[in-house]
């Protein structure tokens, strides 16, 4: 590793819950921004140590997951199977380094364990595996499937008369998959207003710019035509992100889709908007340079 991990155990609490003594909620914008920088450092250290992984799309989603886990989601660290917990599904499973970093910062895994990313017998595999890693709802990584799982979870909440909400993070390149649009139809048909999708719209996928591989535009209009309430935001702006989640919670009778405009590799100058870093880990020299930028 190129710098030591900083262990910061915490638990996110939801409205109406009592915080345990060791719990923590990031209420200030400065604290959220500091956490985002910490998560970016973890991503660089993990992928560099493994010489493998997907830093670009992990870095682009940092603010989204920071807002979710430290301000929005209801869950209990002492009871990860709490029936009324909100569900988060990382459909773009290649962004596992980000999710693992968040799980470490809320205390589900240790920050020291992050350096085992993609190692044999590690609980932190290259894509999330529900059989290995605590705090996950499902295994993911085969693109296009997460939204369908989210629909199942949202329907289960309705059938069980529970109030939890379901959040699914998709990649924009992932929206090339036909299953995403089958799920889009189903979610609207069943009027799943407890389901929120987020598209990490960074414009790049493994083979290049979306506009060249498979043009998604007009993406917002597509989701609207499928019956979703669409909210468009800057995916690196915390006030916009938090306002979007608050707005989505008030929507009734239809699912919500937040289209978050982001930058691939955000926060590291030489990674931003560079397709090579979709699935290429930084070298030791690149990692040291990136960590200096993130200091």
Q: Read off the pLDDT of residues 120-139 as tens digits, 9 standing for 90 and up.
A: 999 999 999 999 999 999 99
pLDDT at 24: 61
The whole-number average pLDDT for the span 95-101 is 98
% of the chain with per-residue pLDDT over 70: 92
Residues 6+ apart with CB under 8 A from 266: 40, 59, 60, 62, 202, 236, 272
Inter-residue contact 254 to 229 (CB < 8 Å): yes
Instruction: Answer whether residue 277 shows pLDDT above 60.
Output: yes
Reported as a single tens digit per residue, the pLDDT across 139-196 is 998 999 999 999 999 999 999 999 999 999 999 999 999 999 999 999 999 999 999 9
Please, what are the domains in the chain? 29-293 (3.40.50.970)
Q: What share of the chain is helix, strand, coil (3-state, %, to 5)?
A: 45, 10, 45
Please list, residue by residue across 198-221, b when 16 or more beta carbons sit within 10 angstroms of its beta carbon and e when fewer do. Answer: bbbbbbbbeeeebeeeeebeebbe
Where are the extended beta strands (E) located within the chain? 87-90, 166-171, 195-201, 204-205, 208-209, 229-234, 256-261
Q: Which two tokens stand for residue 275?
A: 């397709």
């Amino acid at each position: 590793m190129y710098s030591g991990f900083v262990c910061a155990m915490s638990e996110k609490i939801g409205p109406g819950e009592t915080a345990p003594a060791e719990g923590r909620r990031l209420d200030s914008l400065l604290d959220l921004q500091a956490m985002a920088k910490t998560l970016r450092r973890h991503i660089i250290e993990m992928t560099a140590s493994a010489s493998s992984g997907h830093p670009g799309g992990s870095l682009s989603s940092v603010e989204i997951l920071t807002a979710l886990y430290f301000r929005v989601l209801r869950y209990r660290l002492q009871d990860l199977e709490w029936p009324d917990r909100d569900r988060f599904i990382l459909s773009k499973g290649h962004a596992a380094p980000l999710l693992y970093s968040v799980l470490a910062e809320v205390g589900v895994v240790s920050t020291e364990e992050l350096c085992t990313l993609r190692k044999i017998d590690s609980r932190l595999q290259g894509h999330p595996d529900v059989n290995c890693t605590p705090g996950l709802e499902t295994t993911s990584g085969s693109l296009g499937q997460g939204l369908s799982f989210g629909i199942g979870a949202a329907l289960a909440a309705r059938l069980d008369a529970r109030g939890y909400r379901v959040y699914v993070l998709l990649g924009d390149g992932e929206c090339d998959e036909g299953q995403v649009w089958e799920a889009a139809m189903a979610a609207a048909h069943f009027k799943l207003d407890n389901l929120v999708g987020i598209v990490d719209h960074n414009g790049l996928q493994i083979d290049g710019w979306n506009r060249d591989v498979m043009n998604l535009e007009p993406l917002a209009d597509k989701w609207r035509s499928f019956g979703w309430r669409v909210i468009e935001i800057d995916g690196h702006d915390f006030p916009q992100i938090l306002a979007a989640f608050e707005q989505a919670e008030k929507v009734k009778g239809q699912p919500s889709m937040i289209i978050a405009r982001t930058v691939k590799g955000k926060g590291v100058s030489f990674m931003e908007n560079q397709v090579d870093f979709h699935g290429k880990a930084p070298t030791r020299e690149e990692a040291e340079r990136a960590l200096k930028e993130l200091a």
